[in-house]
Structure 1
Amino acid sequence: MPTCLIIGVGTGLSRSTASRFASEGYDVGLIARRADVIAPLCAELNEMGIRAAWSCADAGDSAELLEAIAFVEGCIGATDVLIYNASVMRSALPFDLTSDELRSEFEVNVVGAFVAARAVAPAMTRKGVGAILFTGGGLALEPYPEWTSLAVGKAALRSLAFSLFKELSPQGVHVSVVAVCGIVEPGGPFDPDQIAAEYWRLATASKGVEDRELIYQPDGTDPNYNDPERTHMATTITPAHIKG
Protein backbone atom coordinates (compact mmCIF):
# COMPACT_ATOMS: atom_id res chain seq x y z
CA MET A 1 0.00 0.00 0.00
CA PRO A 2 1.21 3.58 -0.62
CA THR A 3 1.99 5.66 2.43
CA CYS A 4 1.39 9.25 3.50
CA LEU A 5 3.40 10.81 6.32
CA ILE A 6 1.99 13.96 7.93
CA ILE A 7 4.19 16.05 10.22
CA GLY A 8 2.58 18.68 12.43
CA VAL A 9 -0.78 17.03 12.97
CA GLY A 10 -3.55 19.05 14.59
CA THR A 11 -7.33 18.95 14.61
CA GLY A 12 -7.98 20.88 11.39
CA LEU A 13 -6.33 20.64 7.99
CA SER A 14 -3.94 17.81 8.80
CA ARG A 15 -6.79 15.72 10.23
CA SER A 16 -8.80 16.19 7.03
CA THR A 17 -5.72 15.39 4.96
CA ALA A 18 -5.09 12.21 6.91
CA SER A 19 -8.70 11.15 6.41
CA ARG A 20 -8.58 11.92 2.68
CA PHE A 21 -5.45 9.89 2.01
CA ALA A 22 -6.73 7.06 4.20
CA SER A 23 -9.99 6.98 2.22
CA GLU A 24 -7.93 6.65 -0.96
CA GLY A 25 -6.19 3.54 0.33
CA TYR A 26 -3.02 5.02 1.82
CA ASP A 27 -1.39 3.87 5.02
CA VAL A 28 -0.90 6.93 7.20
CA GLY A 29 1.91 8.07 9.49
CA LEU A 30 1.34 10.88 11.99
CA ILE A 31 3.92 12.98 13.81
CA ALA A 32 3.21 15.81 16.24
CA ARG A 33 4.30 17.06 19.63
CA ARG A 34 1.11 16.00 21.42
CA ALA A 35 0.12 12.38 21.82
CA ASP A 36 -3.39 13.38 22.90
CA VAL A 37 -4.03 14.66 19.36
CA ILE A 38 -2.46 11.99 17.20
CA ALA A 39 -3.11 8.83 19.22
CA PRO A 40 -6.94 9.12 18.96
CA LEU A 41 -6.73 9.95 15.24
CA CYS A 42 -4.48 6.97 14.67
CA ALA A 43 -6.96 4.77 16.56
CA GLU A 44 -9.82 6.06 14.38
CA LEU A 45 -7.89 5.23 11.23
CA ASN A 46 -7.07 1.76 12.54
CA GLU A 47 -10.77 1.18 13.24
CA MET A 48 -11.45 2.06 9.59
CA GLY A 49 -9.09 -0.73 8.57
CA ILE A 50 -6.27 1.67 7.71
CA ARG A 51 -2.77 0.81 8.79
CA ALA A 52 -1.64 3.89 10.72
CA ALA A 53 1.21 4.67 13.07
CA TRP A 54 2.21 7.68 15.13
CA SER A 55 5.13 9.12 17.03
CA CYS A 56 5.69 12.28 19.05
CA ALA A 57 8.43 14.73 18.09
CA ASP A 58 9.24 18.41 18.18
CA ALA A 59 9.65 19.33 14.51
CA GLY A 60 12.27 21.88 15.55
CA ASP A 61 14.50 19.16 17.01
CA SER A 62 16.15 17.49 14.02
CA ALA A 63 17.36 14.40 15.87
CA GLU A 64 13.97 13.87 17.50
CA LEU A 65 12.18 14.36 14.19
CA LEU A 66 14.41 11.90 12.34
CA GLU A 67 13.88 9.32 15.06
CA ALA A 68 10.11 9.73 14.77
CA ILE A 69 10.22 9.42 10.98
CA ALA A 70 12.29 6.26 11.22
CA PHE A 71 9.88 4.76 13.75
CA VAL A 72 6.78 5.51 11.68
CA GLU A 73 8.36 4.27 8.46
CA GLY A 74 9.38 1.12 10.32
CA CYS A 75 5.68 0.54 11.02
CA ILE A 76 4.09 1.41 7.68
CA GLY A 77 6.94 1.50 5.15
CA ALA A 78 8.82 4.15 3.21
CA THR A 79 7.02 7.44 2.60
CA ASP A 80 5.34 8.00 -0.76
CA VAL A 81 3.76 11.35 0.14
CA LEU A 82 5.18 13.72 2.74
CA ILE A 83 3.01 16.54 4.07
CA TYR A 84 4.79 19.04 6.32
CA ASN A 85 2.26 21.07 8.27
CA ALA A 86 4.28 22.11 11.33
CA SER A 87 4.66 25.77 12.26
CA VAL A 88 4.87 28.10 15.25
CA MET A 89 1.83 30.38 15.32
CA ARG A 90 2.96 33.14 17.65
CA SER A 91 2.36 36.84 17.17
CA ALA A 92 5.23 39.25 17.80
CA LEU A 93 6.35 42.53 16.26
CA PRO A 94 9.85 42.57 14.73
CA PHE A 95 11.66 44.15 17.66
CA ASP A 96 9.60 42.36 20.28
CA LEU A 97 11.09 39.16 18.91
CA THR A 98 14.44 38.01 20.26
CA SER A 99 17.05 36.45 18.02
CA ASP A 100 16.76 33.20 19.98
CA GLU A 101 13.00 33.13 19.43
CA LEU A 102 13.38 33.80 15.73
CA ARG A 103 16.00 31.09 15.47
CA SER A 104 14.03 28.45 17.38
CA GLU A 105 10.82 29.14 15.46
CA PHE A 106 12.70 28.99 12.16
CA GLU A 107 13.81 25.49 13.16
CA VAL A 108 10.15 24.42 13.20
CA ASN A 109 8.87 26.55 10.33
CA VAL A 110 11.64 25.72 7.84
CA VAL A 111 14.47 23.50 9.04
CA GLY A 112 12.12 20.71 10.08
CA ALA A 113 10.65 20.71 6.58
CA PHE A 114 14.13 20.44 5.09
CA VAL A 115 15.12 17.64 7.48
CA ALA A 116 11.96 15.68 6.72
CA ALA A 117 12.28 16.12 2.96
CA ARG A 118 15.91 15.04 3.04
CA ALA A 119 14.95 11.95 5.03
CA VAL A 120 12.24 10.70 2.67
CA ALA A 121 13.46 11.89 -0.74
CA PRO A 122 16.10 9.18 -1.40
CA ALA A 123 13.53 6.36 -1.36
CA MET A 124 11.23 8.41 -3.61
CA THR A 125 13.95 9.12 -6.17
CA ARG A 126 15.00 5.46 -6.23
CA LYS A 127 11.41 4.56 -7.18
CA GLY A 128 11.08 7.54 -9.50
CA VAL A 129 7.82 8.67 -7.93
CA GLY A 130 6.63 10.56 -4.86
CA ALA A 131 5.37 13.88 -3.57
CA ILE A 132 6.51 16.39 -0.96
CA LEU A 133 3.94 19.00 0.05
CA PHE A 134 4.55 21.93 2.39
CA THR A 135 1.82 24.01 4.02
CA GLY A 136 2.63 27.63 3.29
CA GLY A 137 0.53 30.74 3.78
CA GLY A 138 -0.33 34.21 2.62
CA LEU A 139 2.37 35.70 4.84
CA ALA A 140 4.93 34.43 2.33
CA LEU A 141 3.30 36.66 -0.29
CA GLU A 142 2.61 39.75 1.83
CA PRO A 143 4.09 39.78 5.36
CA TYR A 144 2.77 41.75 8.34
CA PRO A 145 4.83 42.92 11.31
CA GLU A 146 2.59 41.26 13.90
CA TRP A 147 3.59 37.90 12.42
CA THR A 148 7.26 38.56 11.67
CA SER A 149 8.66 35.15 12.59
CA LEU A 150 5.95 33.15 10.84
CA ALA A 151 6.19 35.37 7.74
CA VAL A 152 9.96 34.85 7.56
CA GLY A 153 9.39 31.11 7.91
CA LYS A 154 6.68 30.86 5.27
CA ALA A 155 8.73 32.92 2.79
CA ALA A 156 11.75 30.68 3.35
CA LEU A 157 9.59 27.56 3.10
CA ARG A 158 8.26 28.78 -0.25
CA SER A 159 11.81 29.26 -1.53
CA LEU A 160 12.83 25.84 -0.24
CA ALA A 161 9.89 24.23 -2.02
CA PHE A 162 10.80 25.88 -5.33
CA SER A 163 14.43 24.76 -5.01
CA LEU A 164 13.40 21.20 -4.19
CA PHE A 165 10.95 21.20 -7.09
CA LYS A 166 13.76 22.07 -9.50
CA GLU A 167 16.00 19.41 -7.98
CA LEU A 168 13.53 16.55 -7.59
CA SER A 169 10.94 16.88 -10.35
CA PRO A 170 13.34 15.55 -13.04
CA GLN A 171 13.64 12.47 -10.83
CA GLY A 172 9.90 11.89 -10.66
CA VAL A 173 9.23 13.53 -7.28
CA HIS A 174 6.73 16.39 -7.24
CA VAL A 175 7.16 19.23 -4.71
CA SER A 176 4.53 21.84 -3.94
CA VAL A 177 3.94 24.56 -1.38
CA VAL A 178 0.28 25.21 -0.59
CA ALA A 179 -0.36 28.81 0.47
CA VAL A 180 -3.58 28.69 2.48
CA CYS A 181 -4.57 32.37 2.48
CA GLY A 182 -7.25 32.40 5.16
CA ILE A 183 -8.51 30.86 8.38
CA VAL A 184 -9.23 27.15 8.08
CA GLU A 185 -12.66 26.26 9.44
CA PRO A 186 -15.29 23.66 8.50
CA GLY A 187 -18.07 24.92 6.29
CA GLY A 188 -16.28 28.14 5.36
CA PRO A 189 -14.39 29.14 2.22
CA PHE A 190 -11.30 27.51 3.73
CA ASP A 191 -13.00 24.25 4.60
CA PRO A 192 -10.30 21.72 5.57
CA ASP A 193 -11.88 18.91 3.55
CA GLN A 194 -11.82 21.06 0.41
CA ILE A 195 -8.19 22.00 0.97
CA ALA A 196 -7.31 18.36 1.66
CA ALA A 197 -8.75 17.53 -1.76
CA GLU A 198 -6.17 19.88 -3.28
CA TYR A 199 -3.36 18.15 -1.39
CA TRP A 200 -4.63 14.87 -2.83
CA ARG A 201 -4.69 16.31 -6.34
CA LEU A 202 -1.17 17.70 -6.07
CA ALA A 203 0.18 14.44 -4.68
CA THR A 204 -1.40 12.21 -7.28
CA ALA A 205 -1.96 14.26 -10.42
CA SER A 206 0.57 17.09 -10.46
CA LYS A 207 0.87 18.62 -13.91
CA GLY A 208 4.18 20.45 -13.89
CA VAL A 209 5.83 23.70 -12.97
CA GLU A 210 2.52 25.52 -12.49
CA ASP A 211 1.78 23.15 -9.61
CA ARG A 212 4.92 23.91 -7.64
CA GLU A 213 2.74 26.41 -5.77
CA LEU A 214 -0.97 26.41 -5.05
CA ILE A 215 -2.35 29.70 -3.73
CA TYR A 216 -5.59 28.69 -2.09
CA GLN A 217 -7.80 31.77 -1.92
CA PRO A 218 -11.39 31.41 -3.16
CA ASP A 219 -12.92 34.39 -4.96
CA GLY A 220 -14.33 36.98 -2.59
CA THR A 221 -12.20 36.09 0.42
CA ASP A 222 -10.18 38.76 2.21
CA PRO A 223 -6.59 39.09 0.91
CA ASN A 224 -5.78 41.19 4.00
CA TYR A 225 -6.97 38.63 6.53
CA ASN A 226 -3.69 38.98 8.42
CA ASP A 227 -4.49 42.68 8.93
CA PRO A 228 -8.17 42.65 9.94
CA GLU A 229 -8.06 46.22 11.33
CA ARG A 230 -6.44 47.47 8.12
CA THR A 231 -3.61 48.98 10.13
CA HIS A 232 -1.03 48.56 7.37
CA MET A 233 -2.99 49.39 4.23
CA ALA A 234 -0.75 52.33 3.33
CA THR A 235 2.28 50.04 3.26
CA THR A 236 0.65 46.95 1.75
CA ILE A 237 0.64 45.76 -1.85
CA THR A 238 -2.15 43.39 -2.80
CA PRO A 239 -0.61 40.05 -3.79
CA ALA A 240 -0.45 39.46 -7.54
CA HIS A 241 -2.85 36.52 -7.50
CA ILE A 242 -5.74 38.81 -6.47
CA LYS A 243 -7.59 40.01 -9.56
CA GLY A 244 -8.97 43.56 -9.77
Structure 2
Amino acid sequence: MTGAAIIIGAGDATGGAIAAAFARDGLTAVPVRRNADALAPLAERILAAGHACVPIGTDARDEAKMVALFDRVEADIGPVEVAVFNIGANSPMSILEETERRYRKIWELCALGGFLMGREAARRMVPRGRGTILFTGATAAVRGGAGFAAFAGGKHALRALAQSMARELGPRGLHVGHVVIAGAIDTEFIRSQFPERYARKAEAGILDPDHIAANYVMLHHQPRDAWTHELDLRPWVEPF
Protein backbone atom coordinates (compact mmCIF):
# COMPACT_ATOMS: atom_id res chain seq x y z
CA MET A 1 0.00 0.00 0.00
CA THR A 2 1.30 3.43 -0.90
CA GLY A 3 1.30 6.27 1.57
CA ALA A 4 -1.39 8.94 1.44
CA ALA A 5 -1.47 12.72 1.53
CA ILE A 6 -4.76 14.12 2.83
CA ILE A 7 -5.46 17.70 1.76
CA ILE A 8 -8.39 19.23 3.62
CA GLY A 9 -9.70 22.16 1.61
CA ALA A 10 -8.58 21.04 -1.83
CA GLY A 11 -10.05 23.88 -3.84
CA ASP A 12 -9.42 24.85 -7.43
CA ALA A 13 -6.20 26.73 -6.71
CA THR A 14 -3.79 26.22 -3.81
CA GLY A 15 -5.35 23.10 -2.30
CA GLY A 16 -5.65 21.40 -5.66
CA ALA A 17 -2.06 22.29 -6.51
CA ILE A 18 -0.87 20.83 -3.19
CA ALA A 19 -2.76 17.60 -3.87
CA ALA A 20 -1.28 17.33 -7.36
CA ALA A 21 2.22 18.05 -6.05
CA PHE A 22 2.12 15.27 -3.49
CA ALA A 23 0.68 12.89 -6.09
CA ARG A 24 3.64 13.67 -8.36
CA ASP A 25 5.88 13.04 -5.38
CA GLY A 26 4.62 9.46 -5.17
CA LEU A 27 1.87 9.56 -2.56
CA THR A 28 -1.79 8.89 -3.18
CA ALA A 29 -3.46 12.28 -3.10
CA VAL A 30 -6.66 12.40 -1.07
CA PRO A 31 -8.20 15.79 -1.80
CA VAL A 32 -11.10 16.63 0.51
CA ARG A 33 -13.86 19.21 0.42
CA ARG A 34 -17.53 19.23 1.37
CA ASN A 35 -18.77 18.82 -2.20
CA ALA A 36 -17.31 15.63 -3.63
CA ASP A 37 -18.51 16.45 -7.15
CA ALA A 38 -16.41 19.61 -7.14
CA LEU A 39 -13.29 17.44 -6.81
CA ALA A 40 -13.88 15.58 -10.07
CA PRO A 41 -11.87 17.89 -12.38
CA LEU A 42 -8.88 17.85 -10.03
CA ALA A 43 -8.98 14.07 -9.65
CA GLU A 44 -9.24 13.63 -13.42
CA ARG A 45 -6.15 15.81 -14.00
CA ILE A 46 -4.10 13.91 -11.42
CA LEU A 47 -5.16 10.51 -12.74
CA ALA A 48 -4.60 11.55 -16.36
CA ALA A 49 -1.03 12.47 -15.43
CA GLY A 50 -0.51 8.91 -14.24
CA HIS A 51 -0.64 9.57 -10.51
CA ALA A 52 -2.87 8.23 -7.74
CA CYS A 53 -5.83 10.18 -6.41
CA VAL A 54 -8.87 9.31 -4.30
CA PRO A 55 -11.16 12.33 -3.84
CA ILE A 56 -13.46 12.33 -0.80
CA GLY A 57 -16.30 14.63 0.12
CA THR A 58 -16.82 15.34 3.82
CA ASP A 59 -17.23 18.15 6.35
CA ALA A 60 -14.02 18.94 8.23
CA ARG A 61 -16.00 20.53 11.07
CA ASP A 62 -17.75 17.25 11.93
CA GLU A 63 -15.76 15.14 14.40
CA ALA A 64 -17.33 11.80 13.48
CA LYS A 65 -16.77 12.43 9.78
CA MET A 66 -13.13 13.34 10.30
CA VAL A 67 -12.51 10.20 12.33
CA ALA A 68 -14.19 8.17 9.59
CA LEU A 69 -12.11 9.88 6.91
CA PHE A 70 -8.81 8.93 8.52
CA ASP A 71 -10.03 5.42 9.29
CA ARG A 72 -11.05 4.93 5.66
CA VAL A 73 -7.77 6.22 4.25
CA GLU A 74 -5.66 4.12 6.59
CA ALA A 75 -7.71 0.98 5.85
CA ASP A 76 -8.23 1.34 2.09
CA ILE A 77 -5.39 3.50 0.76
CA GLY A 78 -2.38 3.43 3.05
CA PRO A 79 -0.72 5.15 5.98
CA VAL A 80 -1.26 8.89 6.14
CA GLU A 81 2.21 10.34 5.60
CA VAL A 82 1.07 13.94 5.07
CA ALA A 83 -1.96 15.87 6.30
CA VAL A 84 -2.56 19.41 5.07
CA PHE A 85 -5.21 21.77 6.40
CA ASN A 86 -5.96 24.35 3.73
CA ILE A 87 -9.48 25.62 4.40
CA GLY A 88 -9.84 29.33 3.81
CA ALA A 89 -12.44 31.66 5.34
CA ASN A 90 -11.18 35.07 4.31
CA SER A 91 -14.34 37.16 4.48
CA PRO A 92 -14.23 40.77 5.76
CA MET A 93 -16.90 42.33 7.94
CA SER A 94 -16.90 45.36 10.21
CA ILE A 95 -16.95 44.47 13.89
CA LEU A 96 -20.03 46.71 14.10
CA GLU A 97 -21.89 44.38 11.73
CA GLU A 98 -20.35 41.02 12.66
CA THR A 99 -22.78 38.37 13.91
CA GLU A 100 -22.28 35.53 16.36
CA ARG A 101 -23.38 32.99 13.76
CA ARG A 102 -20.90 34.23 11.17
CA TYR A 103 -18.04 34.55 13.65
CA ARG A 104 -18.67 31.00 14.88
CA LYS A 105 -18.74 29.59 11.35
CA ILE A 106 -15.43 31.24 10.43
CA TRP A 107 -13.87 29.94 13.65
CA GLU A 108 -15.14 26.44 12.86
CA LEU A 109 -13.65 26.63 9.36
CA CYS A 110 -10.29 28.05 10.43
CA ALA A 111 -9.68 26.52 13.83
CA LEU A 112 -12.01 23.66 14.76
CA GLY A 113 -11.46 21.86 11.48
CA GLY A 114 -7.72 22.27 11.87
CA PHE A 115 -7.84 20.80 15.36
CA LEU A 116 -9.85 17.78 14.23
CA MET A 117 -7.54 17.08 11.29
CA GLY A 118 -4.41 17.60 13.37
CA ARG A 119 -5.59 15.34 16.15
CA GLU A 120 -6.66 12.50 13.86
CA ALA A 121 -3.45 12.72 11.83
CA ALA A 122 -1.34 12.69 14.99
CA ARG A 123 -3.18 9.67 16.39
CA ARG A 124 -2.20 7.66 13.31
CA MET A 125 1.30 9.04 12.89
CA VAL A 126 2.64 8.94 16.46
CA PRO A 127 2.70 5.11 16.70
CA ARG A 128 4.77 5.06 13.48
CA GLY A 129 7.08 7.84 14.65
CA ARG A 130 6.83 9.79 11.43
CA GLY A 131 4.56 12.07 9.45
CA THR A 132 4.07 15.66 8.32
CA ILE A 133 1.19 17.90 9.40
CA LEU A 134 0.95 21.28 7.69
CA PHE A 135 -1.45 24.15 8.31
CA THR A 136 -2.08 26.95 5.80
CA GLY A 137 -2.07 30.31 7.51
CA ALA A 138 -2.33 33.89 6.34
CA THR A 139 -1.17 37.37 7.28
CA ALA A 140 -4.23 37.39 9.58
CA ALA A 141 -2.53 34.69 11.65
CA VAL A 142 0.11 37.15 12.80
CA ARG A 143 -1.62 40.53 12.41
CA GLY A 144 -5.33 41.27 12.72
CA GLY A 145 -6.47 43.78 10.14
CA ALA A 146 -9.40 46.17 10.31
CA GLY A 147 -12.59 44.40 9.32
CA PHE A 148 -11.12 40.91 9.76
CA ALA A 149 -11.85 40.18 13.43
CA ALA A 150 -13.38 36.77 12.74
CA PHE A 151 -10.80 35.66 10.19
CA ALA A 152 -7.88 36.90 12.29
CA GLY A 153 -9.26 35.18 15.38
CA GLY A 154 -9.61 31.88 13.56
CA LYS A 155 -6.19 32.07 11.92
CA HIS A 156 -4.49 33.12 15.16
CA ALA A 157 -6.05 30.05 16.79
CA LEU A 158 -4.81 27.82 13.97
CA ARG A 159 -1.28 29.19 14.34
CA ALA A 160 -1.36 28.57 18.10
CA LEU A 161 -2.55 25.02 17.44
CA ALA A 162 0.36 24.44 15.07
CA GLN A 163 2.86 25.76 17.61
CA SER A 164 1.48 23.62 20.41
CA MET A 165 1.41 20.50 18.25
CA ALA A 166 4.94 21.08 17.00
CA ARG A 167 6.28 21.33 20.54
CA GLU A 168 4.47 18.17 21.63
CA LEU A 169 4.89 16.03 18.53
CA GLY A 170 8.33 17.06 17.24
CA PRO A 171 10.09 14.93 19.87
CA ARG A 172 7.91 12.02 18.73
CA GLY A 173 9.05 12.23 15.12
CA LEU A 174 6.29 14.34 13.57
CA HIS A 175 7.02 17.47 11.56
CA VAL A 176 4.33 20.11 12.19
CA GLY A 177 4.51 23.28 10.12
CA HIS A 178 2.56 26.50 9.62
CA VAL A 179 2.73 28.25 6.24
CA VAL A 180 1.87 31.95 6.10
CA ILE A 181 0.51 32.77 2.64
CA ALA A 182 0.69 36.55 2.27
CA GLY A 183 -0.59 38.11 -0.93
CA ALA A 184 -2.95 37.56 -3.82
CA ILE A 185 -2.95 34.09 -5.38
CA ASP A 186 -3.38 33.39 -9.09
CA THR A 187 -7.05 32.39 -9.05
CA GLU A 188 -10.17 33.13 -11.08
CA PHE A 189 -11.51 35.08 -8.09
CA ILE A 190 -8.53 37.46 -8.08
CA ARG A 191 -8.62 37.77 -11.86
CA SER A 192 -12.28 38.73 -11.97
CA GLN A 193 -12.65 40.70 -8.74
CA PHE A 194 -9.27 42.42 -8.47
CA PRO A 195 -8.03 42.95 -12.04
CA GLU A 196 -5.53 45.61 -10.97
CA ARG A 197 -3.81 43.13 -8.66
CA TYR A 198 -4.05 40.32 -11.20
CA ALA A 199 -2.29 42.57 -13.71
CA ARG A 200 0.84 42.22 -11.61
CA LYS A 201 1.06 38.52 -12.52
CA ALA A 202 3.32 39.41 -15.44
CA GLU A 203 5.90 40.75 -13.01
CA ALA A 204 5.60 37.87 -10.52
CA GLY A 205 3.49 40.05 -8.27
CA ILE A 206 0.98 37.38 -7.27
CA LEU A 207 1.51 33.90 -5.91
CA ASP A 208 1.49 30.90 -8.24
CA PRO A 209 -0.37 27.93 -6.63
CA ASP A 210 2.14 25.45 -8.04
CA HIS A 211 5.02 27.37 -6.47
CA ILE A 212 3.20 27.39 -3.13
CA ALA A 213 2.63 23.64 -3.43
CA ALA A 214 6.30 22.97 -4.13
CA ASN A 215 7.13 24.44 -0.73
CA TYR A 216 4.74 22.04 1.02
CA VAL A 217 6.50 19.09 -0.59
CA MET A 218 9.84 20.60 0.38
CA LEU A 219 8.72 20.83 4.02
CA HIS A 220 7.70 17.17 3.97
CA HIS A 221 11.16 16.14 2.81
CA GLN A 222 13.17 18.24 5.26
CA PRO A 223 15.55 16.22 7.47
CA ARG A 224 14.68 16.19 11.15
CA ASP A 225 17.81 18.13 12.10
CA ALA A 226 16.69 21.11 9.98
CA TRP A 227 12.91 21.34 10.23
CA THR A 228 11.09 24.56 9.41
CA HIS A 229 8.12 25.24 11.64
CA GLU A 230 6.85 28.49 10.12
CA LEU A 231 7.36 29.43 6.49
CA ASP A 232 6.35 32.84 5.08
CA LEU A 233 5.52 32.90 1.37
CA ARG A 234 4.85 36.24 -0.33
CA PRO A 235 5.52 37.82 -3.71
CA TRP A 236 8.23 40.44 -3.77
CA VAL A 237 5.67 43.26 -4.07
CA GLU A 238 3.89 42.31 -0.83
CA PRO A 239 5.01 44.51 2.10
CA PHE A 240 6.07 43.01 5.41
SS in 1 for 2:54: strand
User: Match of 1:139?
Assistant: 140
Distance 1:60 1:94 in 2: 24
SS in 2 for 1:63: helix
- Deviation of 1:199 after TM superposition, in Å, equals 0.6
User: Match of 1:230?
Assistant: none
User: Match of 2:76?
Assistant: 75
Distance 1:32 1:46 in 2: 18
Q: Is the 8 A contact 1:93 1:147 kept in 2?
A: yes
- Deviation of 1:113 after TM superposition, in Å, equals 0.8
- Deviation of 1:15 after TM superposition, in Å, equals 1.3
- Deviation of 1:56 after TM superposition, in Å, equals 1.2
Q: Is the 8 A contact 2:219 2:227 kept in 1?
A: no
Q: Which AA in structure 1 matches 2:148? A: W
Q: Which AA in structure 2 matches 1:176? A: G
Distance 2:69 2:168 in 1: 25
SS in 2 for 1:53: coil
Residue by residue, what CA displacement relative to the aligned partner does 1:159-213 show, whole Å, maximum 9, x if unpaired? Answer: 1100000000001100011000011117544111111111111111155687111
Distance 1:218 1:75 in 2: 39
- Using a 3 Å threshold, how does the CA distance of structure 1 residues 196 and 206 change in structure 2: closer, same or farther? farther
Task: Say whether residues 1:57 and 2:58 are aligned partners.
Answer: yes
Q: Is the 8 A contact 2:183 2:235 kept in 1?
A: no
User: Match of 2:21?
Assistant: 20
- Deviation of 1:92 after TM superposition, in Å, equals 1.1
- Using a 3 Å threshold, how does the CA distance of structure 1 residues 180 and 58 change in structure 2: closer, same or farther? same
Q: Which AA in structure 2 matches 1:195? A: I
Distance 1:222 1:41 in 2: 29
Q: Is the 8 A contact 1:52 1:76 kept in 2?
A: no
Distance 1:64 1:95 in 2: 35
Q: Does 199-208 or 6-15 show the bigger shift? A: 199-208
User: Match of 2:45?
Assistant: 44
Task: Say whether residues 1:205 and 2:206 are aligned partners.
Answer: no
Q: Which AA in structure 2 matches 1:177? A: H
- Deviation of 1:119 after TM superposition, in Å, equals 0.8
Distance 1:82 1:182 in 2: 23
- Using a 3 Å threshold, how does the CA distance of structure 1 residues 95 and 70 change in structure 2: closer, same or farther? farther
Q: Which AA in structure 2 matches 1:190? A: L
Q: Is the 8 A contact 2:126 2:173 kept in 1?
A: yes
- Using a 3 Å threshold, how does the CA distance of structure 1 residues 209 and 73 change in structure 2: closer, same or farther? same
- Deviation of 1:51 after TM superposition, in Å, equals 2.6
Q: Which runs of 5+ in 2 are unaligned?
A: 188-200
- Using a 3 Å threshold, how does the CA distance of structure 1 residues 74 and 44 change in structure 2: closer, same or farther? farther
- Deviation of 1:118 after TM superposition, in Å, equals 0.9
Q: Is the 8 A contact 1:6 1:84 kept in 2?
A: yes
Fraction of identical pairs, as percent: 31
- Using a 3 Å threshold, how does the CA distance of structure 1 residues 70 and 218 change in structure 2: closer, same or farther? same
- RMSD value over aligned CA atoms? 1.9
Q: Which runs of 5+ in 1 are unaligned?
A: 224-241
Distance 1:43 1:12 in 2: 15
TM-score by length of 2: 0.85
Distance 2:161 2:13 in 1: 24
Task: Say whether residues 1:86 and 2:103 are aligned partners.
Answer: no
Distance 1:104 1:61 in 2: 12
Q: Is the 8 A contact 1:180 1:216 kept in 2?
A: yes
Q: How many residues align structurally?
A: 223
Q: Is the 8 A contact 1:56 1:68 kept in 2?
A: no
Q: Is the 8 A contact 2:12 2:42 kept in 1?
A: no
User: Match of 2:12?
Assistant: 11
- Using a 3 Å threshold, how does the CA distance of structure 1 residues 99 and 209 change in structure 2: closer, same or farther? farther
User: Match of 1:171?
Assistant: 172
- Using a 3 Å threshold, how does the CA distance of structure 1 residues 25 and 11 change in structure 2: closer, same or farther? same
